[in-house]
Amino acid sequence: MSANASLAEGGADVQGMFNRVARRYDAANRIMSGGVDVVWRKKAIARLLEGLGEAPRILDLGAGTLDGALEIARRAPAARIAAADFAREMLRAGRGKLRPGARIDTHAADGHDLPYRDGAFDGAFSAFCVRNLRDLPRGLGELRRVVRPGGRVVILEFLRPEKTRFFFDRIWNPHVLPLLGWAVTGDRAAYRYLPDSIAAFRSTAEFAAVMNEVGFGSVETKALFPSGVATMVVAR
């Protein structure tokens, strides 16, 4: 894994940040989202698995504490799941949730250079990961490479809004979220990074354009409740 793998586009050390907050990450997520992140994940994974059969090969990129991988396994018990993340402490926290016999393999891996053969997976899922890539086209290109032709990729992400939303963009994201994250994890910098990274990221149209550029022929986007805070991107 290269030294630069830890850095986001703006130079933030996101690998170190996620390793620091790993033990309290789930608690912070539930509090900051009011649990709606669970709903978003279920909706996205239901879409991911449509038509992929009973035992699909699935990659969870940026798997973190394995909430996504566990939901995939719950919905498709025969699925073979590779849960990849560059933050080892996040994976370590997630492995504590696994039950004996779970068909989930965890891999410390760099999203810019995935350790899987071409077309290794029938589908891929990624929740709130790609915003943290140093090189977005390269990371999305790797997703395209490791998913077989015709396979489906579903991404959940906070994309930059086209128009400023007063409550979310002026009050909640810049002021309330950092305070909640700090209170739960004790790490102020990590949750200051969150709103800053959203404001500096791609819009829905810009993100879809990058997906097309790296080889996805079909890209759908859907704003999720409440008020399009998160976006689900479905691509083939």
Percent of the chain, pLDDT > 70? Answer: 97
Cβ–Cβ contacts within 10 Å for residue 38, how many?
14
**Is residue 96 domain-resident?**
yes
Q: What is the pLDDT, as a whole number, of residue 59? A: 98
Are 64 and 85 in contact by the 8 Å Cβ rule? The answer is yes
Task: Identify whether 187 is part of a domain.
Answer: no
pLDDT of residue 3: 52
Q: Are 234 and 222 in contact, with CB atoms under 8 Å apart?
A: yes
The first and second tokens of residue 198, run together, are 């959203």
Q: What's the residue count for the chain?
A: 236
| DSSP state string for 197-216 | HHHTS--HHHHHHHHHHTT-
Helices 14-21 & 25-33 angle (0-180, nearest 10): 90
pLDDT at 70 over 80: yes
Is residue 118 one of the residues assigned to a domain? yes
Contacts 24+ apart (CB under 8 A), 138-142: 138/112, 139/111, 139/112, 140/210, 140/211, 140/214, 140/216, 141/214, 141/215, 142/111, 142/112, 142/113, 142/114
- Where in the sequence is the domain holding 55, given as residue range(s)? 3-160+202-235
Q: In the predicted model, is pLDDT for residue 216 greater than 70?
A: yes
Q: Who wins on pLDDT, 4 or 132?
A: 132
Instruction: Examine residue 171 and state whether it is found in any structural domain, yes or no.
Output: no
What are the φ/ψ torsions at residue 29 (nearest 5 degrees)?
A: -60, -45
Higher pLDDT, 109 or 102: 109
| Whole-number Å distance between alpha carbons of 2 and 126 | 21
How does pLDDT run across 111-157, given as a tens digit for each residue? 999 999 999 999 999 999 999 999 999 999 999 999 999 999 999 99
Is the confidence at residue 18, as pLDDT, over 70? yes
- 150 located within any domain: yes
Smallest Cα–Cα separation from 29: which of 171, 146, 194?
Answer: 194
State the helix-helix crossing angle for 25-33 and 88-95, rounded to 10 degrees.
Answer: 90
* Domains contained in the chain, number: 1
Instruction: Kindly state the greatest CA–CA separation across the chain.
Output: 47
* Tokens 């566990």, residue located: 70
Q: Give the integer Cα–Cα distance in Å for 65 and 98.
A: 10
DSSP 234: E
In a domain, 106, yes or no: yes
Lowest mean pLDDT among 49-58, 59-68, 83-92, 162-171: 162-171
Residue 179 lies in a domain: no
> Residue 2 pLDDT more than 70?
no
Confirm whether 168 is domain-assigned: no
At 101, which CATH number? 3.40.50.150
